[in-house]
Amino acid sequence: MAKKTLIGLEIHVELSTDKKMFCNCKNQYGADVNTQVCPICLGLPGALPVIDKQAVEYAIRAGIAFDSKITDEIRMDRKNYFYPDLTKGYQISQSDHPLCAGGYLEIEPQSGPKKITLDRIHIEEDTGKQLHTEDGTSLLDFNRCGVPLVEIVTNPDVSSAEEAKLFLEKLRNTLKYIGISDVRMEEGSLRCDVNINVVDDEAGTKTNITEVKNLNSFRSAVKAIEYEEKRHRVLMEKGENTDKETRRWDEVVGETILMRKKYTADDYRFANEADITPIKIDREWLENIRENLPELPHAKKMRFIEEYDLSDYEAGVLTQSQELAHFFEETLVNVKDAKLLGNWMMGDVLRRLKDEDKDFEEMPISSTNLAELINLVKDGKINNNTGKKVLREMFETGNSPRAIVEEKGLIQISDEGELEKIVVEMLDNNPQSVEDFKNGKDRAVGFLVGQIMKATKGKANPQLVNKLLTEKIKER
Amino acid sequence: MITRDQVVHISSISKLKFTDEELDEFTEKFDQVIGFLEKIKEVDTENVEPTFTINEEDGIMKENGENQTLSREEVLENTVESQYGYFKIIKVVE
Amino acid sequence: MDITSLKGWEMREKLIKKEISSTEILSAHLSKIDKIEKDINAFITMDKENALKTAKRVDEKLQKGEKLGIIAGLPVGLKDNILTKNLRTTCGSRMLENFNPPYDATVVRKIVEEDGIILGKTNMDEFAMGGSTETSYFGNTRNPKDLTRVPGGSSGGSAAAVAANALPLALGTDTGGSVRQPASFCGIVGMKPTYGLVSRYGVVPMSNSLDQIGVFGRDVRDAHMMLQTVTGYDPLDATSSKRADRDISIEGIDSLKGLRIALPEQYKDLRITGDEKIQERFKETVKVFEDAGAIVEYVSLPSLQYALETYYVIMASEVTTNLSRFDGIRFGYRTENYETLDELYTNSRTEAFGEETKRRIMMGNYALSAGHQDQSYKKALRVRTLIKQDYENAFKDHDIILSLTAPMLPFKLDSIINSPVDMYKADLYTVPVNLAGLCGISIPMGDVDNLPVGLQITGPRFGDSTILKAGLGYERAVR
Ligand SMILES: [Mg+2]
Ligand SMILES: [Zn+2]
C-alpha cells in the first residue's frame, strides 16, 4: 500500500465551568439572547480579562488524561482577526506556549491498537453566535462569547474514517469521564475540524491539505473524511492535485463544499496578551488535580477484567461510559454475580437502549430495580423468559419488578405435585406426541413443553417441566 | 524602503483605506517611521529572554469575583442597529 | 480670595475648618472655566449637574460631622479615556463620539469613595496617541502659559486645566510620557506611578503593558493626595499589584541630604539641537540637589539608546490589537456607506480614526506580521529586558535618577504635527520609565524663555514615595 491518508483533527471543547473564561458571567447554554454578557466578554474598551481558575483546572485534567506535559507557566496570546462573532477583534488564545504539550490517545481499530499522538491542548475563549435571517441580515448573540474552550490538536496520525471515529468516540468518552464538558455536538460543546491529505510514498507525491469545517456530528465527520479521502485519491490517480482550501460538509448534499482558497498561510499576528500576567502553575495544585482525577476509561476497563473476571470485550462494553460503568458497579452490590449482571446488561438492557437510539443516561430503570429483577430470576422466583418480559414492562412503565410480578401473578410454579398433574394431563391429551417421541422424534418434547408453558402462562419452572416430562413419558 | 503596495497590503489587514492622493503622503511618512523602528535590529539579544510582564509577582486566577453581567438594554445601548435583542448587521456571506 | 489659585490641599484644609464650602469651591472653578475654556479647550464633556449634587452631599457630610475622604470637595478632571458610567467617554475620537459607558472605571469608584467631585472629561490626543493634544477629534487644547503653544500630550486637557486653575486635581494616563510631558509643558506636577500601582480597569487601553494612570497637581503634595486616592490592588486588573495596597507615605523628610542620585551618561549624546538653555537649566537644578547634600554620579545605561524605538514597536503592536474592537458593530461609529461586511469594517474605521491613529495601527500590524514579527515585535520584547536590567543595576546603588522630562520647550501649535518621527522624539526621556515599569514624576524647574520646563525624577519599581519625597525636598530647596 503505497498511498496513505493523513488526517489531523482539531477539536474544540467547551468546558462546563460555572463561569466564563475571563469574566464572571454565567457559562450557561440556552439563556435568553444577550443576557449573559458583561463589559469584559462584550469586549467593551477598558474592560480587562482575569483567567478563570476552574477553566484552567479542567484543561489540566484533560492534559493529565491524555498524558500531555503540563506547562510551568500559563501565558496567553491575542490571535488577531476580524469577524462579527468576535467582540475584540482578537481571540485570547495560546500560541507558542500551550497549556499542555504532546500526549496521546490509544484507539483499537480492526488492525490492532494504535496511538494517536497529540500536538497540543491549549485554552482559549469561545466566540458569539450568528444567526442568518431570510432578509439578508445577520443577528448576533454574545452569550457564548467568552465561554472557556480547550482546543485539542492531533498530529496527522489518523489514517482512516474508522480511526477518526474511534478517536473521537474515545476522546468524547474520556472528556466526559473527567467531568470537564457536556461534549454535546448538537449543542456545539464539542466541535471538530479535519485536516486531510493523501501521500504516495513510492511516487514521492502528496496532495495539498484540505481543511474541513462545520462538522456537527461524528457521522458527518466520518462521511466528510470518506468523501475527501476519495476526492484526494481520485485526483492523485489522475495525476492532479488538490488546492489548499477550506471546505465545509454539506449534510444534505452529502458533499464537501468549497468555503475559501488559501493562497497564503493565515497570518493571525499573534501578540502577547499583556493584560494577563503569566501565571506559575503551583505544583502542589497540579498534584492535587492529578490525585482527584476520576478513574480513566482504560484503567477502569483493566480493573473490571481483574476484579470481576470479565472478558476484555465485556469490560470494554461496560466501561464505554462513566454512567454505564457506575451503574454496573452499583447494581453489582446487590446482584453479587458480575458475569450474570454483565449478561443482562449487555444483552437486554443495552440492546433495548440501542434499538431506541438512546444514550445510557436516558436509562429509565434504576439500579435497585434491575438488581431486584435479576435476583428474582436467580432465586427461581420467576423463570428467565418471564424475567425478560418483566424487563420489557419495566422499560415501559418504570415500575418495580416485584410490583409487576405480583400484579400479573408471574411467580414461577415450582411445586412438583402441582406441575405433575399438569404434565400427566398434557400426556393424556396428546397420545400422538408420546408416540412420536418414542419413534425418536425429539421435536415432540418441544411441542409438549410449549403446551405446558401455555397452560401455565409461562410460569412453570422449565427445568422441572423437563424432568417430569422425561420421567412420565418413560412410564408409558 | 516601504512601497505603496506594502502600505496598501497593511492597510487592508488593518481594515483601513486610503485614497490615491492620501497614499503618497502616507507612504512617505510611514517609510520614515518604519525606518526609525529598524534601529532595534542592531541590538544583540542572543540569550536574552523576552519580557512578557514587568510585574515581579505571579499572575492571578479568579475564583469568586463580582458578576458584572449587564442588562440587555445596556448591552445593546451603544450599537447602531439591533433587533429582537440581537445586534444586527448585514449578512456575512461565506 | 480667589479659591482657584489655592493648592488642592489648601482648599481641603479650609473646607475642613469650614472656612469655605464644597459648593463654593466648585462654583469658583465653574466660573473660572466659563472665563477660560473658550481659549484653552481643556474639556470635552462637563458634568456640572452631578458635580453640584456631589458638592452638596460633601457639605452635608461636613455639617453632620461625618468623616471626609482624602480629596473631599475637590473638583477633579478625568482624561476622557477613563470610563464613567452614563457620562460620555470619547477618547478624543470620532469613533466614540457618542459612547455611553455602562460601567465605571475602578479609579472613578475610588474618587467617589474619597468624596472627590468629578467635574468633567478632559481633552486628549486621539486614543492617547500624540504629544500635543492636537490629534483630538474635539479640537486642540492650548497651553495656558502661552496660547500659541501646545500643552503637550496626550493628557493635555488635564494638564492645561490644572495649570489654568480650572481644576486643582486631574487624572491622565501615561504610556510613554503622556502625563509627565504635558506637566512639564504646562508648568505643573505630573506623576506616573509604578506599573501595577493604580488599576487600569475601565481605562481605554492604548498599550496594556505600558499604560498607567497618572496624576496632576500644582505641587507635589497635591499630586500625592490624588495618587493616594486612586492607588490600590484591584482584583479586576490582573496586572495590578498586591503591593499597591500599602500607603504611599511622604511623612518625615525634610532634606535631600545623602540622597544618592544617578545621571544617565547616555543622555549626554541624545540631545536635540536647540536645547542648550534647557540643559543649562537642568545643570542648575542638579546643583540644587548637590548643594542640599545629595550625592550625584553618572551611571551607564547602555540600552537606553534603543528605548525610543523599542517603545514604539511594543506600543504600536499593542495599540493595533486594542483598536481592533472598533469595528462599527457593537459600539462606536458605524459608517452609513457600506454594502459588504468588509466595507462596514473598513469604512467605519477609515472615517472615524484620525491619521496618527491609523499610522500606529499600521505600524503595529507591520511589527506583528509573519515576516517581521521576529525582527521587530519579538525583538523589542527582548530589548525591553535589557533596558529593565540596566535600570535594576542603576538602582542598586542609587535612590533616584534625574533627567529632563522633555527635550524641548512647548512647541507652537501646528508646528511638528506633520513630522511623526520628530514628534516621537519628544518622548525620549519619558518612555524608558514605562518600558521598565518604574515610577517617574515631572516637577517644574523654572522657565526657559518664559516657558516652563520640567525635571523628571525616576524611581525604582514601587519607589513612588521616594520620588515624591525627593520632589518635596526640591520644592522646599527652591522655595
Ligand atoms: Mg482555536
Ligand atoms: Zn461577561
Q: What is the pLDDT of residues A32-78, one digit of tens each?
A: 999 999 999 999 999 999 999 999 999 999 999 999 999 999 999 99
| Residue span of the structural domain in which B37 resides | 4-41
In sequence order, what DSSP letters do the residues of C113-162 get, joined into one string?
A: HTT-EEEEEE--SGGG--SSS-S-TT----BTTBTTB---SSSHHHHHHH
Pair A50, A194 in one domain: yes
Radius of gyration of chain A (CA): 30
- Identity at A270, one-letter amino acid code: F
Mean pLDDT of A316-335: 92
Mean pLDDT of A283-307: 94
| Least confident span in A82-86, A389-393, C292-296, C318-322 | A389-393
* Cell output for C252: 518625615
- Contact status of A140 with chain B (Cβ, < 8 Å): yes
Most confident of A258-267, A353-362, B85-94, C467-476: C467-476
CA nearest to A50 within chain C: C238
Q: What is the DSSP letter of A425?
A: H
What's the ipTM? 0.97
Q: What is the pLDDT of residues C219-263, one digit of tens each?
A: 999 999 999 999 999 999 999 999 998 888 888 766 799 999 999
Residue B31 inside a domain? The answer is yes
pLDDT band, residue A408 (cuts 50/70/90): confident
Residue A382 inside a domain? The answer is yes
Among the three residues A284, A317, A334, which one is the final residue of a domain in this structure? Answer: A284
Residue B46 inside a domain? The answer is no
- Contact status of B32 with chain C (Cβ, < 8 Å): yes
Residue C178 in 3-state DSSP? Answer: coil
pLDDT band, residue A6 (cuts 50/70/90): very high
Give A140's contacts in chain B (Cβ within 8 Å): 86-89
Looking at residue A458, its pLDDT comes to: 79
pLDDT band, residue A11 (cuts 50/70/90): very high
Mean pLDDT estimate for chain A: 92
CA–CA separation, A300 and A303 (whole Å): 5
CA nearest to B90 within chain C: C341
Question: What is the domain count for chain B?
Answer: 1
- Contact status of B52 with chain C (Cβ, < 8 Å): yes
Residue A460 inside a domain? The answer is yes
Looking at residue A62, its pLDDT comes to: 98
Pair A384, A337 in one domain: yes
- Contact status of B83 with chain C (Cβ, < 8 Å): no
Mean pLDDT of C323-352: 96
Question: How many whole angstroms from A124 Cα to the centroid of ligand 1?
Answer: 7
Looking at residue A416, its pLDDT comes to: 80
Among the three residues A356, A376, A404, which one is the final residue of a domain in this structure? Answer: A404
pLDDT band, residue A358 (cuts 50/70/90): confident
Q: Which of residues 420-439 of C touch B (CB under 8 A)?
A: 420-421, 424, 436-437
Give A89's contacts in chain C (Cβ within 8 Å): 321, 323-327
Exposed/middle/buried for residue A328 (C-beta within 10 Å: 0-12, 13-18, 19+):
buried
Residue B18 inside a domain? The answer is yes
* Cell output for A459: 410460569
Which sequence positions of C are flagged as catalytic?
Answer: 79, 154, 178
Q: Does residue C214 register a pLDDT over 80?
A: yes
| Least confident span in A247-256, B19-28, C268-277 | C268-277
Residue A300 inside a domain? The answer is yes
Residue A411 inside a domain? The answer is no
Q: How far is CA A459 from CA A377, C86, C460, in A?
A: 12, 80, 92
Residue A409 inside a domain? The answer is no
Residue A410 inside a domain? The answer is no
Give A130's contacts in chain B (Cβ within 8 Å): 92
CA A282 to chain B, closest CA, distance in angstroms equals: 11
Mean pLDDT of B38-58: 95
Residue ranges of domains in chain C, CATH in brackets: 3-245 (3.90.1300.10)
| Least confident span in A372-381, B61-70, C179-188, C236-245 | A372-381
Mean pLDDT of A313-335: 92
Is A80 in contact with C238 (Cβ distance < 8 A)?
A: no
Give B25's contacts in chain C (Cβ within 8 Å): none
Looking at residue A235, its pLDDT comes to: 94
Looking at residue B39, its pLDDT comes to: 92
Q: What is the pLDDT of residues B16-27, one digit of tens each?
A: 999 999 999 999
Pair A356, A237 in one domain: no
| Residue span of the structural domain in which A457 resides | 416-475
Q: What is the pLDDT of residues A90-145, one digit of tens each?
A: 999 999 999 999 999 999 899 999 999 999 999 999 999 999 888 889 999 999 99
Looking at residue C254, its pLDDT comes to: 62
CA–CA separation, A311 and C452 (whole Å): 90
Question: How many whole angstroms from A39 Cα to the centroid of ligand 2?
Answer: 6
CA nearest to B10 within chain C: C362
Query: What subunits make at least 3 CB pairs under 8 angstroms with A?
Result: B, C
- Contact status of B1 with chain C (Cβ, < 8 Å): no
Is B69 in contact with A137 (Cβ distance < 8 A)?
A: no
Question: What is the domain count for chain A?
Answer: 3
Mutate to test the interface with C, among A92, A141, A275 (most CBs of C within 10 A): A275
Pair A390, A441 in one domain: no
Among the three residues A404, A434, A455, which one is the final residue of a domain in this structure? Answer: A404
Is A23 in contact with B68 (Cβ distance < 8 A)?
A: yes
Q: What is the pLDDT of residues C419-474, one digit of tens each?
A: 888 888 889 999 999 999 999 999 999 999 999 999 999 999 999 999 999 999 99
CA–CA separation, A128 and A126 (whole Å): 7
